[in-house]
Amino acid sequence: MMQVLLGCNAPGCSAEARIPVLIGAPLPVVETACRVCSGGIMVVKSHDGANDQATKGAVAASAVAIQPPASQAPMTFAEGGPDFLGGFINRLSPVYLAVESVMLNRLPGDSVSLAKVISPFLEWSSEIRDNLRRIEENLGIGRGQRLSDGFPSSNPEKLGPRNIALRNLFGTDGEKITAGSGLLQKIGVLKVSKNIPNTFIVGEPGARLIGVLDEPVNIHLRSKGLAPTGIYGTHPQLPVFFTADNAIGMLKAVFEVMPDEEAWAMHILRTIRDHAGENGWDSNVYASSMAALLLDGAGDQGRWRKSSGLSLAEHYIDLGKRKKEKSPRDFAKERLTNNINSALGGLFGRLKELGLIYPIADGPRKNVALTDVGASFIEEYEEVIQ
């Protein structure tokens, strides 16, 4: 018999536990989440006891079962709530284009009709898409790295992306407005008029967002002389169309109106910085690892919850029970993992667009790494908040 010493991997937490390992007995089931800080994971620190080969083999197997892979870390608590940009907003420049369609067409008194907003947005968006696609095709840029994919086309045969953009940005199907829906309503750029049908009242955050660029998105990205300001990586290549100053300005302005987006983005940027290997950070187990922690009452409970305050873990377990799933917990883990992966993919899209991270092919996977702009941004950010 021997003992394995476990310790919490969260900074500042000194929780420890000793686990007995007996030859001929099954490996003990170990709860990976730390019960003391509710944020870290219990990992193997050392072992003592028998020296025979069978026991050493058992310890090695136990260590593999208990220790998380390096790409999972850090799974400690990270600040932030649920009101961040989700997976459907995977580029920032269409958001800025939407704000411009509001601010450049509002009437005195800061009202604007639905038609006056979506007409220029769709016209500009279609032109930007065509302009970017021309450049990207000449460069051989593949799907996932193309900025053009974030802009809906006016092609009547491709109404799906158009309708998704209108719903996610403005909260409309193109005919009527749904009060309280759409990103611009949620962050206060727009509010539905109570007195005039199909009309928005324009809020103050619009002016804050529109003032951070050297020139509006609708001018910059429609320019026939448009060219990438830089191209990152080799396999695949990522073209960037904004200068570092404009990219950082866009990101900081969004952080101002969405503090939860700031917390989410900075958590992932730091994770990439601290845990990238030679081929970048492999994020493939992040979502499933976080889902497991959430189901154990640990992890980032503040972020992964509904606006009502109910944790997503509890929500999905309850849903699994109502659907009479064989294992509501397994059902919940799958739903949580998909939810987190969707949010992570959306954030990656936004950070790639701005040139803060770039993809690196690693076999069948695509890892991500910081660019020099991304590394400088984190350093500057941490100096300011210290």
Tokens in use for 191? 């509010």
Domain ranges of the chain: 2-67, 93-226, 246-385
Strand partners, 43: 7
Contact 235, 361 (CB under 8 A): yes
Tokens in use for 167? 């719903």
Number of residues in the chain: 386
d(CA 228, CA 173): 33
Reported as a pLDDT band with limits 50, 70 and 90, residue 386 is low
pLDDT for 319 equals 97
CB neighbours of residue 11 within 10 Å? 10
pLDDT for 35 equals 53
Answering whether pTM is above 0.85, one says no
In 3D space, the residue among 1, 96, 8, 99 whose CA is nearest the CA of residue 50 turns out to be 1
Q: Can you tell me the mean pLDDT for 303-314?
A: 93
pLDDT of residue 72 exceeding 70, the answer is no
Give me the DSSP letters along 166-189: HHHHHSB-SSSB-TT-SHHHHTTS
Residue where the block lists tokens 């003592």: 48
pLDDT for 307 equals 83
Cβ burial 277-292 (10 Å sphere, 16+ → b, else e) = eeebbbbbebbbbbbb
Tokens in use for 317? 């377990």
Q: Can you tell me the mean pLDDT for 234-254?
A: 94
Of 125-134, 202-211, 365-374, give the lowest mean pLDDT range.
202-211
d(CA 377, CA 250): 13
Beta strands in 264-383 (DSSP E): 357-362, 365-370
Of 30-39, 234-243, 335-344, give the lowest mean pLDDT range.
30-39
Summary mean pLDDT of the chain: 86
Tokens in use for 292? 């497991």
Of 5-14, 48-57, 84-93, 305-314, give the lowest mean pLDDT range.
48-57
pLDDT tens digits, one per residue of 271-282: 999 999 889 999
Reported as a pLDDT band with limits 50, 70 and 90, residue 364 is confident
Contact 223, 212 (CB under 8 A): no
Of 56-65, 202-211, 318-327, give the lowest mean pLDDT range.
56-65
Residue 61, SS3 per DSSP: helix
Residue 232, SS3 per DSSP: strand
Largest Cα separation within the chain, whole Å, is: 84
Residue 81, SS3 per DSSP: coil
- The enclosing H or E element of 76 equals none
pLDDT for 57 equals 53
pLDDT of residue 8 exceeding 50, the answer is yes
Of 155-159, 222-226, 239-243, 343-347, give the lowest mean pLDDT range.
155-159
Would you call 329 exposed, middle or buried from its count of C-beta atoms within 10 A (0-12, 13-18, 19+)? middle
pLDDT for 6 equals 79
In 3D space, the residue among 26, 25, 34, 27 whose CA is nearest the CA of residue 6 turns out to be 34
pLDDT for 64 equals 42
Contact 332, 316 (CB under 8 A): yes
User: Torsion-angle region of residue 376: left (phi > 0), alpha (psi -120 to 50) or beta?
Assistant: alpha
d(CA 4, CA 55): 11
Q: Can you tell me the mean pLDDT for 91-99?
A: 97
pLDDT for 23 equals 60
